[in-house]
Amino acid sequence: MRSHLPLRLAPLLAVLAACTEPPPSAYISTPSGAAGRFVEVGRTAAGEECRLSRSGAGADIWCGEWSSPSARIREVPNAPPSQAAADARAGLATRLDCDAPRPTTALGGQPAALMDCRRRSGGWPAFVLVTQSGNRTYLAEGVLPAYPAAERGVGVLGGQITATSAPLSSAALDAMAARLARQAFSTGDIGGYESLMAVGRNANQAERFVAAETAYRAALSLQERALGANAPDRFQPMVLLALQLSNQGRFPEAEQLFARAAALAPRAADPLAGAMLAHYRGLHEANRGRTGPALASLDEGAAAYSRVLPPEMRAGSGRPPVFTDPVASRALVGLVETRRNAAALLRAAGRNAEAETATAEAERLAAAGRGAEGADLVIARLARTGGAIAAEGGNSGAADRDFLRAAARFGRTAPRSRPLADTLLLRAANVSASQAIGPCREAAGILRNLREGTTPERIAPCVDAFAATGTPEGLAEAFEAAQLGQGGVTTTQIATAAARLTAGARDPAVAEALRRREAADRTLSARYRERDNAAAEGRGDLAALNRSIAEAETAAAEADAAAQSAAPGYAQLVQSVSPTAEVLAALGPGEALVANTLPRGRRGWTFVLLDGTVTAARVGADTAGVAALVTRVRESVQSGSADKPFDAEAAHALHGALFAGVAEPMSRARSLVASPEGPMLSLPYGVLVTEPPPAPRGHDGVAFLLSKMPVSHVPAASSLVALRRAGRSAAQRPWFGFGDPRPVPANFAARTFPAAPTCGQGLASLPRLPASEIELAAAAQVMGATPAERRTGPAFTAQAVRATRLRDYRVLHFATHGVLPGELSCLTEPAIIASPAPNGPDAAQALITSGTILDLDLDADLIVLSACNSGGGAAAGESLSTLARSFFFSGARGLLVTHWYVNDVAAARVAAFTLRNVQGGDAPAEALRKAQLDLLRVPGANHPALWAPFALIGPGPTPGAAPARTADAARAAAG
């Protein structure tokens, strides 16, 4: 449910889950150079050194490298310890979920009271200790590993012990030690968790959902490792992770996590867990386009938030409250967000009167919550929602005022961010083409700096505005803006792979380069914020701030270049806009790049870049018309057999819609690189028909585009530039193959997917592929490979792929099944099917997913995925599946994939002939073209269903470059 006007529904939500700890002002930072003023008070159970820092009548305990105190000590009025602990329990309830106090002893026998607690943020085990020392009563609270240091700290403050006293012994300490042994974690774990949650919150607020996913996934992993897989307070990172996946359209994965989070919510320490679950489920349903269930869940979440608020906050009357209760603050923000989200949904459903009512309610509540954390961003989003509602109602003047108000507030609170860019794009859609140029340029600049894309619908008004100028400069700017529209599933899943680099799994230098790039981006964002705040308040030296911004921009550019150098594959993994001049320079003579924009609900553009010039024309049908033609063509071929006559009429109409306006440059092209979008992602361009066919249905005498020129595909124009720069493989061996998997036993599949028996049965039902062994044997002979350079039958497992030194091979060949999540519902990503491990116990070794591929180290010119639907097909809606993107990340330069079910024998023939042609010196696109045309000439095999599903992803070498090495040359090079 994302038309060209809808607002992002989720961005503020991490605020609801990340503010239960004390605000920074509650902590005493460790002063630089003040080591002498700290007292050593022992170590945590994990061996971290702890130091006491005095503060008035109390103290903070700092342990390890955690940037917040691990424990705090304060003096309380003299009273029996149990009474003092009970009195403090209510005041601590916003941060700690504590059991009733129980009597114990401390400091070698002193009466004390102890409360076992959990932090509401993350569920980390904590404690509250009340005891006397030196005729004074102290309360110590902190995370569980810091208990021994806190007890010693109380003794130091009361003068009862010194830092060098003998180790403490108390009745509680043994119990604490036993509990820590069961839940082994350190203060560093808690600090790392909170840092990751903060990164996720910031990324979510900036609507960078892939980065937020990475952070929340890491936080969940750390928490599970430290607290155990059954800890109920895994709820927070789990439900936030589910929402990030939903925001990316990865609904099966999100649904599984929401179900797991629902089971944890009743036991979570966070009192808002139930409200958050209903709220986030409402957003998930909205992402799925289910307005009724979404509104119902949002109403449920609003009611749950309201129950936590005092009546005066719900009424939104009187002076804005001072938010001393972080739970109430979060609840108010959540309530405002549910009403704002509901308004956006109602507007999208055409229920404008109800949308205005919901917006008014959200604004009233927001006015009452100006002191709450995140309120400024909520108000900015409310203004943006109001602008969208006004635009939908035809009131462009009011819409423009609201968009300007939202942009100004975003500029102050989230400068150079995705929310600001989206607001500018919404404004561009609401004004004339000439007025749109300014906000379009600013939005495009922000997105390029963030390396993020947007939807084709959101950027379409800007493409129209730039192209309407009719100048070469305007066409170049339109083409660059159009590249931002390829920011959907392809971009986000590629960026997910990129995030793995930050872990430094292969090379710490890569992780450091990417870390510096992120730090440079954060610095630049901070400089923008400083300038915007100074300008808004009429203060400061703007010239000096502008100079600092210029310096920060230079540093960011240098850091980006260093990251690209350290990790050449990085450009393939993130959204990137290549300047038009760079794309033209990457093309060879007579080689054309064709990019189609296909936004929903309107007509897009076809761009042709050829021999130094850019040509553009409107697509001859709206996107719905293009999609209908694509569906007709696919329906006539996707069975992989000649059972249905080919829909030549639809294939010709589709060619005309895309290329009639750019017929002149297309007539001069000798090879084609296609950068598809939308419906065209599921169809190889070579099957288009260039001349009126002899009959509406049938393939005899039909002029296919593939007959005129070789065709390759790229996910974006930037991929063409990056892959051409990467050069050719330096691997010495020609080929390695995997295939002919053994079927997965039903009991193995059932163990792997116990909650989805039907899915397990589907996996177990995949048959043997007899021709795949023949295909690999023929390919090995053609490529000059040895018998040892094949893994087939039982030897072909996921572990065998991981264990092979694949970097030594220029071509890797997989002849097997490929399955999509839509075909096996228990899968959350596409997979290559291998053989199960001989002794099981499950099907894990039979699934080669993107996670497996991301960890490979490749230097390959070509990956042959001779597997059904390896390119994504109609079900995935992507010409480049997750598997293919993962191969690019791991070091591939080109992929041979299929777009629908392929005939086993036809696949073997096309793959073998393609490799023979590559060995003969042909570039991959021309090698594939010749193999397909050869099959097309075979009687009974010339139906496009048999030869057309194959597509080359990746541009190959520049036309006219030195030919690939032959088999003899390769053997000579190998010695």
Specify the residue for token string 């869940």: 297
**Reduced 3-state DSSP string for 298-309:** HHHHHHHHHHHC
At 249, is the pLDDT very low, low, confident or very high (cuts 50, 70, 90)? confident
* Separation between Cα atoms, residue 195 and residue 201, nearest integer Å: 10
* Among 130, 127, 125, CA closest to 105: 130
| 211: pLDDT strictly greater than 90 | no
CA distances to 277, 281, 466, 862 from 300, rounded to whole Å, are 10, 10, 45, 52
What pLDDT is recorded for position 174? 46
| 966: pLDDT strictly greater than 60 | no
Q: Average pLDDT for residues 749-776, to the nearest whole number?
A: 77
At 115, is the pLDDT very low, low, confident or very high (cuts 50, 70, 90)? very high
Look up residue 650 and give its two tokens.
């639809």
Q: Average pLDDT for residues 676-688, to the nearest whole number?
A: 91
Q: Give the residues across from 832 on adjacent strands.
A: 818, 848
What pLDDT is recorded for position 443? 94
What pLDDT is recorded for position 326? 73
Q: Average pLDDT for residues 749-760, to the nearest whole number?
A: 70
Burial state string for 264-303 with b = 16 or more CB within 10 A and e = fewer than 16: bbeebbbbbbbbbbbbbbbbbbbbbebbeebbebbebbbe
What pLDDT is recorded for position 620? 96
Greater model confidence, 558 or 276: 276
Beta strand residue intervals within 517-631, DSSP E: 591-597, 603-610, 613-622
What pLDDT is recorded for position 70? 85
Greater model confidence, 656 or 350: 656
By CB atoms closer than 10 A (0-12, 13-18, 19+), residue 179 is middle
Q: Which of 6-15, 668-677, 755-764, 862-871 has the lowest mean pLDDT?
A: 6-15
Q: Average pLDDT for residues 82-93, to the nearest whole number?
A: 89
- Chain CA centroid to CA 119, Å: 29
Angle made by CA atoms 767, 769, 775, in degrees to the nearest 5: 170
Q: Average pLDDT for residues 728-755, to the nearest whole number?
A: 85
At 687, is the pLDDT very low, low, confident or very high (cuts 50, 70, 90)? very high
Axis-axis angle for helices 375-392, 326-348 (nearest 10): 10
> 3-state class of 242 per DSSP?
helix
Greater model confidence, 313 or 614: 614
Burial state string for 89-122 with b = 16 or more CB within 10 A and e = fewer than 16: beebebbbbbeebeebbbbeebebbbbbbbbbbb
Burial state string for 791-827 with b = 16 or more CB within 10 A and e = fewer than 16: bbeeebbbebbeebebbbbbbbbbbbbbbbbebbebb
Contact at 8 Å (CB) between 107 and 62?
no
What pLDDT is recorded for position 607? 98
Look up residue 439 and give its two tokens.
């906000």
| 830: pLDDT strictly greater than 90 | no
* Separation between Cα atoms, residue 852 and residue 322, nearest integer Å: 51
% of the chain surpassing 70 pLDDT: 75
Contact at 8 Å (CB) between 48 and 63?
yes
Helices (H), 32-146: 81-92
| 675: pLDDT strictly greater than 50 | yes
- Let me know how long the chain is: 975
Q: Which of 264-268, 274-278, 365-369, 719-723 has the lowest mean pLDDT?
A: 365-369
Greater model confidence, 410 or 904: 410
Contact at 8 Å (CB) between 345 and 337?
no
Strand 895-898 vs strand 950-953: parallel, antiparallel, or unpaired? antiparallel
| Average pLDDT over the chain, rounded to an integer | 79
Q: Average pLDDT for residues 304-333, to the nearest whole number?
A: 70
Q: Average pLDDT for residues 608-618, to the nearest whole number?
A: 97
* Separation between Cα atoms, residue 735 and residue 720, nearest integer Å: 24
Most confident range (mean pLDDT) of 347-351, 513-517, 678-682, 730-734 is 730-734
- State pLDDT tens for residues 645-655: 999 999 999 99
**Phi and psi at residue 51, in whole multiples of 5°?**
-130, 145
Q: Which of 523-527, 591-595, 684-688 has the lowest mean pLDDT?
A: 523-527
At 510, is the pLDDT very low, low, confident or very high (cuts 50, 70, 90)? low
What pLDDT is recorded for position 313? 63
Greater model confidence, 855 or 176: 855
At 635, is the pLDDT very low, low, confident or very high (cuts 50, 70, 90)? very high
* Separation between Cα atoms, residue 72 and residue 76, nearest integer Å: 13
Q: Which of 28-42, 87-101, 266-280, 563-577 has the lowest mean pLDDT?
A: 28-42
Greater model confidence, 489 or 82: 82
- State pLDDT tens for residues 882-920: 566 678 777 888 899 888 877 778 888 898 899 999 989
| 32: pLDDT strictly greater than 60 | no
Q: Which of 144-153, 423-432, 538-547, 950-959 has the lowest mean pLDDT?
A: 538-547
- Rounding to the nearest 10 degrees, give the CA dihedral for residues 19, 21, 26, 27: -120
Q: Average pLDDT for residues 202-212, to the nearest whole number?
A: 68
Greater model confidence, 374 or 964: 374
By CB atoms closer than 10 A (0-12, 13-18, 19+), residue 579 is middle
